[in-house]
A and B are shown apart, each in its own frame.
Chain A
C-alpha cells in the first residue's frame, strides 16, 4: 500500500483548500443542533444522555455524506486527473483506501466539532460517558459505511449530481432496510432467508444497538465488512470503467 499516506494527505488537504469543508462543517453542526434541541427535545426529556443527538445521525448522514463522497472519484474523472493518478506508481487499492480514509477523517473532524454537546450534557447532569463514547464510535462507523457506498457510486460517473442522488437513494435504502418499505419489495418474491439478510443490513438497527452503549462485535463486523465490500466494489468500478 505504498503511496496510501500521500494520497490521504493530499485528499484531506483538498477539502480544506476549498470552501467545501467549512460549508459542510457549519451545516453539519447547525443541523445537529436543530435536531437535538428542537426535534429531539434534549431539554424537555430531562435525561442526561445524548440520545436525542445521536438518533438523528443516520438521517443527517443519509444526505450529508453523499455530499462529501460525490466528488471523490467523479471529480477525478471529470478533470482528467484520474489518468494522472492511475499512472503514478500507486496501486488502485491504495488510492481508493487513501481517498476513503481522507473523507472519513474529514467527517471525524466534523463529528469532533460536536464536543460542546458532550460538555453541555456533562454540565447539566451525570451522563454515562461510556454510552456517549459508544455513540460517537457508532456514529463514525456508520459515516464510514455511508462514505464507502458514496465513494463507490462516485467512481461510476463523472457527474457529481448523479453520484449524489444515487448515493442518497442507496443510503436511504440501507437506513430503512429493516422497515416495511424496503422489506415489502423483497418479501413478495424472495425467500425468507434473503429477506432476513436484507433486513439485517439496516444501519438503523446496528446503530441503535451501539447507542445502547454496547459495542457488540457483530455490529463492528457489520460496518467493517460493509466498508470493505463497497471499497472493493469501488476498485472494480474504476478498473472496469476507466476509459469513459
Chain B
C-alpha cells in the first residue's frame, strides 16, 4: 500500500528545549498508527508539524506525496486533523461550524448538505446541531471536532487524543468509527490509553523526550513485556504457599493477592512449554488451579519500562 505520511529526521527546538529529536516514521494507506508517549513527550508537537501548523527545525515531511513545506495547501487539503482539545469556534452552532468547514474545504455546494448530514449521522450529532458549540458538553465538543476532521473524507486522518474526555460508550463508538475508516485511509492517532492501541492500531510507535524509542505492532510491543509468555495461575488463597513452592522449582514466581484468590505468575526460562509444565507440577503438588493461562504481555508495563529507561539513560530501542 502507498505511503501517505512520510516523516524523515524531524526535529523541533523551542529555544534551548529540543521537543522533538530526529523522529522518522511512515504511515501507509490502511494503517492506523498509534502514537504513544508520556505527556510532554513531543506527540502533539510532531502532529502539529505534520499538519503544517508548526515549521520543523529540521527534517522533511511529505503528506500524500506533497512536501508540507513547499506545497502546504495541497497537503493540508488531504489531511483531516483533530487538534488537541478539539478547538472550535464557540459562538457558532455545530451546524454553522460544519458548514464553514465544508466551505473552506471546498466541498461543492450541491453535495454539501448531504455530506454534512452523512457525517452528522455517523457521529450522532443530530441532537446538538443547532446549539452553540460553547454550550456543548466535552463529549459533544470532541465529536464536533471529529466531524470537522472527517467531513471532506480525507485520505489522511490525524487525531490528537481523539477519545480524551469521552465516556466508555463514546470511546467505543469512536474506535469503531476509526476501524471502519481504516482500510481506505492512513490514520495517525496519539493516545496514552494503551488499550486503545490494542483495540484500533495496526502499528504503534512510542516517543519519549522527543525521541522515537519503539516502533512495531501492538503484539511486538506486548512481547517486550516481562510478562510475555509468563504463566499465570489463579488459586484459592489457602493454596498460595504450596502453589508457590511448586512453581518455584520451575522459575521465578511473583504473587499478587486479590481478595478471595491469588495470582501467581511464573517466569519460566524460554524454550520450554511452561504452561504444560506448570500444570503438571501443580498437579503433582496437589494444588487445584482455578485458572491457568499464558500472558501476552502487559502493555502498560512495557510502556512504563521503556519510557522510563529512555528518560534515565537516553538509550534508544528499535525493532
Q: Is the CB of B76 within 8 A of A80?
A: no
Q: Which residues of B contact A242 (CB under 8 A)?
A: 53-54
The 9 A-B residue pairs with the shortest CB-CB distance in the complex, in nearest-first order: A80-B87, A89-B77, A89-B76, A87-B51, A17-B91, A6-B103, A83-B83, A81-B87, A89-B73
Give the distance to chain A from B106, nearest Cβ to Cβ, in Å. 7
Selected A-B contacts with CB under 8 Å, 6 pairs: A18-B91, A80-B87, A86-B52, A87-B76, A88-B104, A89-B76
Q: Name 6 extra pairs, CB < 8 A, besides A6-B104, A17-B92, A89-B106.
A: A18-B91, A83-B83, A84-B83, A87-B76, A242-B53, A242-B54
A91 part of interface (Cβ distance < 8 Å): yes
Q: Is the CB of B89 within 8 A of A14?
A: yes
B79 part of interface (Cβ distance < 8 Å): yes
* Complex alpha-carbon distance, A86 and B33, angstroms: 24
Q: Is the CB of A243 within 8 A of B14?
A: yes
Q: Which residues of A contact B (CB under 8 A)?
A: 2-3, 6-7, 9-10, 13-14, 17-18, 79-81, 83-84, 86-91, 242-243
Q: Is the CB of B83 within 8 A of A88?
A: no
B102-117, CB < 8 A from A: 103-106
Q: Is the CB of B87 within 8 A of A88?
A: no
Q: Is the CB of A83 within 8 A of B53?
A: yes
- Residue in B53, B77, B106 whose Cβ sees the most chain A Cβ within 10 Å: B53
Q: Which residues of B contact A81 (CB under 8 A)?
A: 87-89
* Complex alpha-carbon distance, A9 and B100, angstroms: 9
B90 part of interface (Cβ distance < 8 Å): yes
Known contacts A86-B52, A89-B106; is-contact A79 B92 (Cβ 8 Å):
no
* Complex alpha-carbon distance, A84 and B105, angstroms: 12
B228 part of interface (Cβ distance < 8 Å): no
Q: Is the CB of A83 within 8 A of B91?
A: no
Q: Is the CB of A89 within 8 A of B92?
A: no
Q: Is the CB of A10 within 8 A of B100?
A: yes
Q: Is the CB of A84 within 8 A of B88?
A: yes
* Complex alpha-carbon distance, A73 and B216, angstroms: 41
Please name the residue on chain B nearest to A20 by beta carbon: B91
Q: Give the size of the chain B interface in residues (CB under 8 angstroms).
A: 30
Q: Is the CB of B54 within 8 A of A243?
A: yes
B296 part of interface (Cβ distance < 8 Å): no
Known contacts A6-B103, A89-B77; is-contact A14 B91 (Cβ 8 Å):
yes
B286 part of interface (Cβ distance < 8 Å): no
* Complex alpha-carbon distance, A13 and B93, angstroms: 12
Please name the residue on chain A nearest to B87 by beta carbon: A80
* Complex alpha-carbon distance, A7 and B91, angstroms: 15
* Complex alpha-carbon distance, A224 and B171, angstroms: 52
Give the distance to chain A from B124, nearest Cβ to Cβ, in Å. 22
Give the distance to chain B from A238, nearest Cβ to Cβ, in Å. 11
B35 part of interface (Cβ distance < 8 Å): no
Q: Is the CB of B73 within 8 A of A87?
A: no
* Complex alpha-carbon distance, A152 and B96, angstroms: 27
* Complex alpha-carbon distance, A7 and B105, angstroms: 11
Q: Is the CB of A80 within 8 A of B104?
A: no
B214 part of interface (Cβ distance < 8 Å): no
- B73, B76, B84, B92: the one contacting A14 at CB < 8 Å is B92
Q: Which residues of A contact B14 (CB under 8 A)?
A: 243
Interface string of B1-36 (1 = CB under 8 A from A): 000000000000010000000000000000000000
Known contacts A17-B92, A84-B83, A84-B87; is-contact A89 B54 (Cβ 8 Å):
no
- Residue in A18, A83, A86, A90 whose Cβ sees the most chain B Cβ within 10 Å: A83
* Complex alpha-carbon distance, A87 and B44, angstroms: 14
Q: Which residues of B contact A84 (CB under 8 A)?
A: 81, 83, 87-88, 148
Q: Which residues of A contact B91 (CB under 8 A)?
A: 14, 17-18
Please name the residue on chain B nearest to A90 by beta carbon: B104
* Complex alpha-carbon distance, A80 and B76, angstroms: 18
Q: Is the CB of A6 within 8 A of B87?
A: no
* Complex alpha-carbon distance, A3 and B102, angstroms: 11
B48 part of interface (Cβ distance < 8 Å): yes
Give the distance to chain B from A234, nearest Cβ to Cβ, in Å. 17
Q: Which residues of B contact A6 (CB under 8 A)?
A: 100, 103-104
B85 part of interface (Cβ distance < 8 Å): yes
Give the distance to chain A from B98, nearest Cβ to Cβ, in Å. 12
Q: Which residues of B contact A7 (CB under 8 A)?
A: 104
- B87, B106, B148: the one contacting A83 at CB < 8 Å is B87
- Residue in B52, B74, B91 whose Cβ sees the most chain A Cβ within 10 Å: B91
Q: Is the CB of B89 within 8 A of A87?
A: no
B136-154, CB < 8 A from A: 148
Q: Which residues of A contact B90 (CB under 8 A)?
A: 79
* Complex alpha-carbon distance, A153 and B103, angstroms: 28
Q: Is the CB of A88 within 8 A of B88?
A: no
